[in-house]
């Protein structure tokens, strides 16, 4: 057991294990102001890992620090509830509120902040407007989620997650809900948008085809452990497991350099 | 050919029960003329019973919804063992015979009951209009709770987690997200629960008695009227049956929400496009 060392660097640092029934997750992750794509087959523990970071499942041992703030530490008996972690979260299928318009989604997010960190009403309006514009939702502000296309829903989920300026962003299979026709376009937009963010971003997917869109660092999760990490081209050149070898063989996208 | 005969046989056997269930209700509906019904309903004792039932079931419904919604939310949100136990206990009043419920209420809240002694109430709560409400809440609340717990559980986990991740606590999540999403199901559960409260007989008779104007609800008035004047009993019976059919229709339409029709149509279209 190592002593937890205090970290002041901006970024996400997770070193923990969690016993979930018969399944054990043992993870060590460092993510700076970049996007890390976490890939793994079904049942590898991707969604569980995201829920552990989010705080929906308890750690058995270890810690999670985001931007110098301890969100969970079993040695110090700290485990902030989800509501206090200030993590942006885009759930699978987006988890939009069916009864709230686009604009109301963002208003809900801002007015859910604790009073001391809640912006004033005019500042809220401004923040919502800026967010809507940056994600091309301004003209759709009055629409309900069921009146939006797949790509628009995804952008709304992103806007809701980001409007309150979280310290990290977690995306659970953001491309899985898209139909084949719009997948390429929406994925390209998401990839370029994530590049503009300056917070640690963790995107999980089970589909190796998604990797082609993201010029990001990739981590491979199998049976609750990260078995390999590197850029997409590095993984393809030296596959560390049959799962990686399989998709490296099947796909030959352009070798991309990780950003920064 | 064999298969067809088998289906016919099964239908005939099943039809016996269907007929048995339907026949008494049909008999009730066609046993009185409109004039007789009107005469029965305008009787002063009947009016008093109708008024009492309207008031007590309304109060019961408010109590059940105001206290039951938070309880259902807590039970639905928790995956711990105690919540499972609480959920099982909450179903108990459904299977406990109403007469037993009446005795139990007497033991807890009657003149010699635990609560009366604890609060030093001289007379206890039994045999008052309050007792009527208590009996109704006791037997009807589980119907609302079951529906509400199921409704809250069926909300997509991602929606609730997303709301929590932006900082919405359990109270805000309940009021702003869960209740609006579960709204139709909650209304259906409330309607079923109200119908059960309106029909409450056994526990009320035991715990509140059968005093005209004070504790005589419509079902008790039917029971009393049957000995004196069948027409009044029939009139009240037809009224309650009509209300029951209304509640059934309301909860049926709420459970099959037409408001998602456009959504479903959209899905069908997109499926068509893929083919």
% of residues, chain B, pLDDT over 90: 46
Q: Does residue B259 or residue B208 have the better pLDDT?
A: B208
What is the distance between the alpha carbons of residues B274 and B271, in angstroms, rounded to a whole number?
5
Residue B264: which pLDDT band, with cuts at 50, 70 and 90?
Answer: very low
Q: Using the beta-carbon criterion (under 8 Å), do B166 and A84 form an inter-chain contact?
A: no
Mean pLDDT by 10 residues, chain A (260 residues): 51 90 90 90 89 92 90 91 93 94 94 88 91 92 93 93 92 86 86 89 86 84 89 82 77 47
The contacts found for A48-53 with CB under 8 angstroms, 24 or more apart, are A48/A18, A48/A20, A48/A23, A48/A224, A49/A25, A49/A204, A49/A221, A50/A170, A50/A172, A50/A202, A50/A204, A51/B161, A52/A16, A52/A18, A52/A25, A52/A27, A53/A12, A53/A14, A53/A87, A53/A168, A53/A170, A53/A202
Place of tokens 């939702």: A137
Instruction: Decide if B199 contacts B219 (C-beta within 8 A).
Output: yes
Burial label, A229 (beta-carbon count in 10 A; 0-12, 13-18, 19+)? middle
Q: Using the beta-carbon criterion (under 8 Å), do A113 and B167 form an inter-chain contact?
A: yes
Q: Calculate how close chain B gets to A241, using CA atoms only, in Å.
A: 31
**Mean pLDDT across B217-241:** 86
Q: In angstroms, how far apart are the furthest CA atoms of chain B?
A: 76
Q: Using the beta-carbon criterion (under 8 Å), do A97 and B159 form an inter-chain contact?
A: yes
**Mean pLDDT across B218-238:** 86
Q: Calculate how close chain A gets to B56, using CA atoms only, in Å.
A: 33
Instruction: Decide if B122 contacts A56 (C-beta within 8 A).
Output: no
Contact list in B for residue A152 (CB cut-off 8 A) is: none
Cα nearest neighbour of A146 on chain B:
B263
Residue B201: which pLDDT band, with cuts at 50, 70 and 90?
Answer: very high
- The pLDDT tens digits of the residues spanning B158-195 come to 999 999 999 999 999 999 999 999 999 999 999 999 99
- Decide if A16 touches B, using CB distance below 8 A: no
- Decide if A116 touches B, using CB distance below 8 A: no
% of residues, chain B, pLDDT over 70: 90
**Mean pLDDT across B205-210:** 88
Which residues have a Cβ under 8 Å from the Cβ of A6 and sit 6 or more positions away?
A68
Instruction: Decide if A187 contacts A209 (C-beta within 8 A).
Output: no
Residue B270: which pLDDT band, with cuts at 50, 70 and 90?
Answer: very low
pLDDT at B255: 67
Interface of B with A (CB under 8 A): 156-169, 172, 176-177, 180-181, 260, 262-263, 266, 270, 274
Residue burial B205-223, b: 16+ Cβ < 10 Å; e: rest: bbbbbbeeeebbbbbbbbb
- Decide if A83 touches B, using CB distance below 8 A: yes
Nearest to A82 among B158, B161, B263 (CB): B161
Q: Using the beta-carbon criterion (under 8 Å), do A88 and B165 form an inter-chain contact?
A: yes
DSSP β-bridge partners for residue A35:
A201
Q: Using the beta-carbon criterion (under 8 Å), do B274 and A88 form an inter-chain contact?
A: no
Residue B123: which pLDDT band, with cuts at 50, 70 and 90?
Answer: low
Which of B170, B192, B209 is CA-nearest to residue B255? B192
Which of A195, A197, A199 is CA-nearest to residue A214? A195
Instruction: Decide if A151 contacts A182 (C-beta within 8 A).
Output: yes
pTM: 0.84
Nearest to B167 among A51, A83, A146 (CB): A83
Instruction: Decide if A72 contacts A59 (C-beta within 8 A).
Output: yes
pLDDT at B113: 74
What is the distance between the alpha carbons of residues A198 and B51, in angstroms, rounded to a whole number?
66
What is the distance between the alpha carbons of residues A206 and A216, in angstroms, rounded to a whole number?
16
Residue B63: which pLDDT band, with cuts at 50, 70 and 90?
Answer: very high
What is the distance between the alpha carbons of residues B140 and B198, in angstroms, rounded to a whole number?
9
pLDDT at B275: 28
**Mean pLDDT across B235-254:** 86
Return the beta strands (E) in chain B as ranges.
Answer: none
Query: Mutate which of A95, A113, A177 to disrupt the B interface (most B C-beta within 10 Å)?
Result: A95
């Amino acid at each position: 057991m190592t002593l937890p060392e205090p970290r002041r660097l901006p970024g996400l640092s997770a070193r923990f294990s969690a016993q979930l029934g018969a399944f054990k997750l043992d993870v060590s992750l460092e993510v700076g102001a970049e996007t890390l794509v976490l890939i793994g087959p079904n049942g590898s523990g991707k969604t569980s890992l995201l829920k552990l970071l989010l705080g929906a499942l308890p750690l058995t041992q270890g810690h999670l620090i985001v931007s110098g703030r301890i969100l969970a530490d079993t040695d110090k008996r700290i485990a902030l509830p989800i509501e206090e972690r200030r993590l942006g979260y885009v759930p699978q299928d987006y988890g939009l509120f069916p009864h709230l318009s686009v604009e109301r989604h963002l208003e809900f997010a801002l007015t859910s902040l604790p009073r001391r960190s809640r912006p004033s009403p005019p500042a809220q309006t401004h923040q919502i407007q800026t967010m809507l514009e940056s994600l091309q939702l301004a003209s759709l502000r009055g629409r309900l989620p069921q009146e939006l296309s797949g790509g628009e829903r995804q952008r709304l989920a992103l806007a809701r997650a980001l409007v309150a300026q979280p310290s990290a962003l977690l995306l659970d299979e953001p491309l899985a809900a898209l139909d084949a026709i719009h997948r390429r376009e929406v994925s390209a937009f998401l990839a370029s948008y994530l590049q503009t963010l300056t917070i640690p971003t963790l995107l999980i997917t089970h589909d190796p085809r998604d990797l082609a869109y993201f010029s990001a660092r990739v981590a491979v999760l199998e049976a609750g452990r990260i078995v390999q990490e590197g850029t997409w081209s590095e993984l393809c050149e030296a596959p560390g497991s049959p799962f990686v070898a399989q998709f490296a063989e099947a796909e030959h996208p352009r070798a991309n350099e990780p950003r920064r | 050919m064999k298969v067809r005969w088998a289906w016919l046989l099964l239908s005939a056997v099943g039809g016996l029960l269907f007929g048995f269930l339907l026949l008494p209700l049909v008999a009730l509906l066609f046993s009185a003329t409109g004039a007789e019904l009107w005469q029965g309903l305008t009787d002063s004792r009947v009016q008093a019973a109708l008024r009492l039932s309207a008031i007590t079931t309304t109060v019961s419904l408010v109590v059940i919804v105001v206290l039951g919604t938070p309880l259902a939310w807590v039970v639905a949100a928790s995956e711990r063992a105690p919540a499972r136990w609480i959920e099982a206990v909450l179903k108990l009043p459904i299977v406990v015979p109403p007469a037993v419920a009446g005795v139990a209420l007497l033991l807890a809240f009657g003149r010699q009951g635990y609560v009366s002694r604890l609060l030093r109430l001289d007379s206890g709560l039994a045999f008052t209009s309050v007792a009527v409400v208590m009996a109704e809440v006791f037997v009807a609340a589980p119907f609302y709770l079951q529906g509400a717990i199921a409704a809250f559980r069926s909300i997509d986990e991602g929606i609730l987690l997303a709301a929590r991740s932006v900082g919405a606590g359990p109270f805000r999540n309940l009021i702003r997200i869960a209740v609006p999403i579960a709204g139709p199901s909650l209304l259906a559960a409330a309607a079923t629960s109200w119908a059960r409260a309106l029909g409450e007989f056994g526990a009320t008779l035991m715990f509140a008695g059968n005093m005209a104007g004070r504790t005589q609800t419509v079902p008790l008035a039917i029971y009393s009227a049957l000995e004196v004047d069948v027409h009044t009993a029939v009139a009240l019976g037809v009224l309650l049956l009509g209300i029951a059919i209304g509640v059934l229709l309301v909860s049926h339409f709420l459970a099959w929400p037409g408001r998602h029709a456009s959504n479903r149509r959209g899905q069908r279209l997109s499926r068509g496009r893929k083919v």
